Amino acid sequence: MNFSGAIKSKLPGVGTTIFSIMTAHANEQKAINLAQGFPDFNCNPDLVKLVNSAMKKGLNQYAPMPGVLSLREKIAAKTEDLYGAIYNPETEITITPGGTHALYAAISAIVGEGDEVIVLEPCYDSYIPAIELNGGRPIFYELKYPDFKVDWNEVKKLINFKTRMVIINTPHNPTGAVLEADDMLQLQKILDNTDVVVLSDEVYEHIIFDNVQHQSVARFPKLAERSIIVSSFGKTYHTTGWKMGYVLAPADITKEFRKVHQFIAFSANTPIQHALAEFIDQKQHYLELSAFYQEKRDYFQKLVAGSNFKILPCKGSYFQMLNYAKITQERDIDFAIRLTKEFKVASIPTSVFYKMKTDNNVLRFCFAKSNETLEKAAEKLMKV
């Protein structure tokens, strides 16, 4: 079937996301999928029981637009406990159908025609389309390979009267870099006396290694008062397919955020919210997540040590970057495809996370996998 009318694409340069492409390619090639970021093990069965029981209780209709209040209250308590920040569950916390939705609604609520948004790249692939769909203009700052540190003086030079938002992401996808307290203080300083909003993507807040503390913007009151924080239950509870997340923002920003959220989704999945409101009390599930993934990171690194790949530092998230310059000078996209086809391991080429497709000969591998999967993948990678 074909529509013969003229459709003017709003995203003419955009195709299917790399995550769908590489997962499809992995399936087609019967390769091990370390490409798209998701665990290959199940979530806690108690959580499934809680969802099931909420469904049986008949909690199957629309949740309130901002989310089930008991869950928002628990998130408020958790945020105060972890980051010392007080968010009012009535007016400053919103439950969303996933982090991606939260990012889109946040950008849509704040960014308008001609507004500039500073983006540190490489970056998660939804940011730019979301900015452009809302008439905004992404202004790029490139994090420099291989440590991906931010020079905030350089970022400051990009700020002008058109700047509406800065997007940050810590722990960072795809590089595994994390922002430190000093980064936050510098960001706070360069935004002083501006009305720039910070969109802080913290979906990997509980996956940070080597006893480093996650520096949420919530810890910095002067930053928090201009920030929208995005979190995802998918990452924290091994439930990426449930698409559940939440947003923390001061009341005036939340008011605008909800105006958009209510017309994109209205609300998020009801029984899962009730289940999470109970499950969140078992703090060990998020407090022990860093140790759980650190073990996986270390195991994967040990398994591929001595291969022709160079292991890059990974301080957080569940992604390990490997440099392949010793193996080939092929473009990362071509090499990722060949690796899937010939060696049966799928990864993500990191150039896709850059506007100018910067190619550092680096592939991203997701280690949120069973040890058996990691062993099988590493065995193959050792032969490359």
Beta carbon nearer to ligand PMP, 124 or 324: 124
- The SS3 assignment for 322 reads strand
- The SS3 assignment for 73 reads helix
Using CA atoms, how far apart are residues 205 and 216, in angstroms rounded to an integer? 8
Beta carbon nearer to ligand GLN, 274 or 364: 364
Asked if 240 touches ligand PMP (CB under 6 A), the answer is: yes
132, 201, 205, 359: which one binds ligand PMP (CB under 6 A): 201
Asked if 33 touches ligand PMP (CB under 6 A), the answer is: no
Asked if 36 touches ligand GLN (CB under 6 A), the answer is: yes
Q: What is the DSSP letter of 196?
A: P
Asked if 79 touches ligand PMP (CB under 6 A), the answer is: no
Q: How far is the CB of 231 from ligand PMP (least distance, A)?
A: 8
* Pairing outcome for strands 310-311 and 319-323: antiparallel
69 membership: H or E segment, kind and range: helix 69-83
Asked if 19 touches ligand GLN (CB under 6 A), the answer is: yes
- Residue 269 binds what, of ligand PMP, ligand GLN, none (CB under 5 to 8 Å, by partner type)? none
Beta carbon nearer to ligand GLN, 191 or 366: 366
94, 134, 163, 173: which one binds ligand PMP (CB under 6 A): 173
146 to 175, contacts with ligand GLN by CB under 6 A?
A: 173
CA 70 to chain centroid, in Å, comes to: 25
Residue 216 contacts residue 188 (beta carbons within 8 Å)? no
33, 37, 47, 365: which one binds ligand GLN (CB under 6 A): 37
Secondary-structure percent of the chain, ordered helix, strand, coil, rounded to 5: 40, 15, 45
Token pair belonging to 60: 């199957």
- Residue 169 binds what, of ligand PMP, ligand GLN, none (CB under 5 to 8 Å, by partner type)? ligand PMP
- Residue 17 binds what, of ligand GLN, ligand PMP, none (CB under 5 to 8 Å, by partner type)? ligand GLN
234, 271, 316, 349: which one binds ligand PMP (CB under 6 A): 234
CB atoms within 10 A of CB 157: 11
Size, binding site for ligand GLN by CB under 6 A: 5
Alpha carbons within 13 angstroms on the beta-carbon side of residue 335 total 24
| CA-angle at 178, arms to 175 and 183, nearest 5° | 130
- Residue 261 binds what, of ligand PMP, ligand GLN, none (CB under 5 to 8 Å, by partner type)? none
Residue 193 contacts residue 161 (beta carbons within 8 Å)? no
Residue nearest to ligand GLN (CB): 37
Choices 24-32, 95-103, 253-261, 268-276; region in contact with ligand PMP by CB under 6 A? 95-103
Beta carbon nearer to ligand GLN, 226 or 364: 364
323 membership: H or E segment, kind and range: strand 319-323
Beta carbon nearer to ligand PMP, 79 or 173: 173
Asked if 124 touches ligand PMP (CB under 6 A), the answer is: yes
| Phi, psi dihedral angles at 147 (to 5 degrees) | -100, -15
Alpha carbons within 13 angstroms on the beta-carbon side of residue 21 total 12
Asked if 40 touches ligand GLN (CB under 6 A), the answer is: no
* Pairing outcome for strands 197-201 and 163-169: parallel
Token pair belonging to 169: 């992401």
Beta carbon nearer to ligand GLN, 37 or 89: 37
Asked if 276 touches ligand PMP (CB under 6 A), the answer is: no
Using CA atoms, how far apart are residues 163 and 183, in angstroms rounded to an integer? 19
Q: Of 228, 229, 226, give the one whose Cα is nearest residue 214.
A: 229
Q: How far is the CB of 237 from ligand PMP (least distance, A)?
A: 11
**Cα distances (angstroms) measured from residue 241 to each of 149, 238, 244:** 32, 9, 9
Q: How far is the CB of 171 from ligand GLN (least distance, A)?
A: 12
Token pair belonging to 287: 């407090």
Beta carbon nearer to ligand PMP, 234 or 271: 234
Q: How far is the CB of 173 from ligand GLN (least distance, A)?
A: 5
Token pair belonging to 78: 């958790």
Task: Name the residues that contact ligand GLN, by CB under 6 A.
Answer: 17, 19, 36-37, 173
Task: Name the residues that contact ligand PMP, by CB under 6 A.
Answer: 37, 98-100, 124, 169, 173, 201, 203, 232, 234, 240, 243, 245
